[in-house]
Structure 1
């Protein structure tokens, strides 16, 4: 997949570009269906499957107080979109100049002249441009006058539940990580570098890896059973997200105890896959009560993780093609 961060890199329009535009935070199963349509249409016309998005999220510039915490980092989003068989990802900076660009100029100067849009696919409620003037009716009129096709998708749902980034954020903030496979098509994950912490876990008999992560959105504070990827190795673990109220620490921390693991891994990167929530973070009367609770968490996690497997994005992709490869 070619990644473009500056529109000046596009010196000539892309061949028969089939384009979708959006934030695509989470790259959930609804987004995946949009990408599948884009890829299918591109293959039908020997064209280029294109995703157009922005970084940062537009609300971080326009209304920071309303900006959502993002489900994915930019790096994760790139990996997930590439895995969706997209040919070109255009992820350009969202600046004040871009925010003030009238919708008509965005279509004429960027979509048509720069990208060479042949077919545009958007959701039914999509709108862009200054004052969100570029809604689907506007885009349909522009397509008719400028010579590109329009495809407007109805809300994408399963069993009556519409896929949405807002719904996913709500479940994560409630700690409901078990719903993620149904909504994302994979386990919710975060990656972090192992850094030095207070070493309290080791003193308690349960050493933990303290993770520093770029992830904006974390599940509700509490204790979770997780799978831990260390390179090609997959291990079982229990992670605590929170402020360690028993020790009255400040700031949120992510500390994972890897089961039956005793190596020094400072500086390494681990990826956690959240399987099930075990309990809320609690204030214990003393360290003895905390140790008892941790031991119970570990035993419960062993039972949960014994037969659990990681569900990753690779497992549900068909690149918009049929089983015979067409």
Structure 2
């Protein structure tokens, strides 16, 4: 997949394109339905398939003081977009000046002159141009006027925890991750949620207690789920997936510890920890299920007993879960 950061990087001999427009945060099931349609249309039209997204997220520009956490880092998003078969990703720099364009100026600069679109694929709830004045009907009208077709992809529903249907959306996924509901988030995403980071030295308390962990740097790529203990997989730099019990939080049993993500590889003998050196490696942590919330225990003995229970529960869940490629 080619990645273009500005119009100056777009090839001068660019063929006709079929374009998908969206933020694509999470690259969830609904997004992939749109992107599959783009790839299909592009092949039928002998054109190039292009996903157009924004950097930074428009909400950050319009509401700079409001909290906003993206599900994926830009690098993660690009990886998952590439897996859809899209030929190219165009990253439109989002500024207040760009946002001030009328709907027609938006279409002309981005789709017509910039990417030579012969077709644009969007959701029926699409909004674009100054003050979000452009909607689906306006996109269709502008397409007729400027020579590109417009195709709509309907919302993709998924069942929530109560069995009710709800539209797959990045907002819903953020809510689920903020509540630690990683299994339900995986249902909406179409895959398990993943964070990535470099393994750094911690306080070595896990090793002292018989549960050595790989501690991720504080600047983790991807939205970190709610504090708690999870069953998941640790993917090392060589692509091996190790079953793991994952802890997120400040570990309230010990005072003065910052919020961290740490993964204990299940059934890795403590005496062999020295031949399992992950320090400095960029690893991924894949979340399968939440085991419990974070609790402060009265004494180390109770904490260790709970950690044994956590590992047993995580092992049972992972033994029954679909096995990732490269499982150790």
Per the normalisation by structure 2, the TM-score is 0.90
Partner of 1:251, secondary structure, is coil
How far is the alpha carbon of 1:250 from its aligned partner? 4.5
- Partner of 2:320, secondary structure, is coil
Structure 1 CA distance, aligned partners of 2:284 and 2:68?
23
**Is contact 2:233-2:286 (8 Å) kept?**
yes
Number of the residue aligned with 1:323: none
Quote the residue 2:233 is aligned against: 227
Residue by residue, what CA displacement relative to the aligned partner does 1:130-163 show, whole Å, maximum 9, x if unpaired? 2111221221111111111111222222463321
Alpha-carbon distance between aligned partners in 2 of 1:243 and 1:43, rounded to the nearest angstrom? 50
Corresponding residue for residue 194 of structure 1: 199
SS in 1 for 2:113: helix
**Pairwise CA distance, 1:310:** 4.4
Maintained 8 Å contact 2:215/2:260: yes
Deviation at 1:311, TM superposition (A): 5.7
TM-fit CA distance, 1:57: 0.6
- Name the residue aligned to 1:316: none
| Matching residue of 1:9 | 9
1:182 maps onto 2:187 in alignment: yes
Task: Give the conservation status (yes or no) of the 8 Å contact 1:13–1:116.
Answer: no
Show structure 1 runs of 5+ residues with no match.
Answer: 313-326
Corresponding residue number in structure 1 for 2:168: 163
Task: Indicate the SS of the match to 1:75.
Answer: helix
Q: Does 1:207 align with 2:212?
A: yes
Describe the shift of the 1:187–1:95 C-alpha distance in structure 2 as closer, same or farther (beyond 3 A): same
Which of 272, 282, 294 aligns to 1:281? It is 294
Report the equivalent of 1:19: 19
Q: Aligned runs of 1:1-326 on 2, under 5 Å?
A: 1-10=1-10, 12=12, 14-66=14-66, 68-158=68-158, 160-212=165-217, 213-230=219-236, 231-261=238-268, 262=273, 263-310=276-323
Q: Unaligned 5+ residue runs, structure 2?
A: 160-164
What do you get for the CA RMSD once the two structures are aligned? 1.7
With 272-281 and 172-181 compared, the bigger mean Cα shift is at: 172-181
Is the contact between residue 22 and residue 52 of structure 1 (CA under 8 Å) also seen in structure 2?
Answer: yes
Decide which moves more: 77-86 or 130-139: 130-139
Q: What is the Cα deviation at residue 201 of structure 1? A: 1.0
1-structure distance, mates of 2:267, 2:170: 36
Which one is further off, 276-285 or 136-145?
Answer: 136-145
Whether the aligned pair in 1 keeps the contact of 2:16 and 2:115 (CA below 8 Å) is no
Contact 2:106–2:128 (Cα < 8 Å) also in 1: no
Deviation track 1:11-34 (CA, whole Å, cap 9, x = no partner) reads: 537322111111010000110100
Q: State the Cα deviation string for residues 265-315 of structure 1 (Å, max 9, x = none).
A: 210122111111111100111111111111111111111112323468xxx
- Aligned with 1:108: secondary structure? helix
Task: Measure the CA separation in 2 of the matches of 1:180 and 1:11.
Answer: 38
SS in 2 for 1:41: helix
The CA distance in 2 between the partners of 1:265 and 1:178, in whole Å, is: 27
Normalised to the residue count of structure 1, the TM-score between the two structures is 0.91
- Which one is further off, 291-300 or 99-108? 99-108
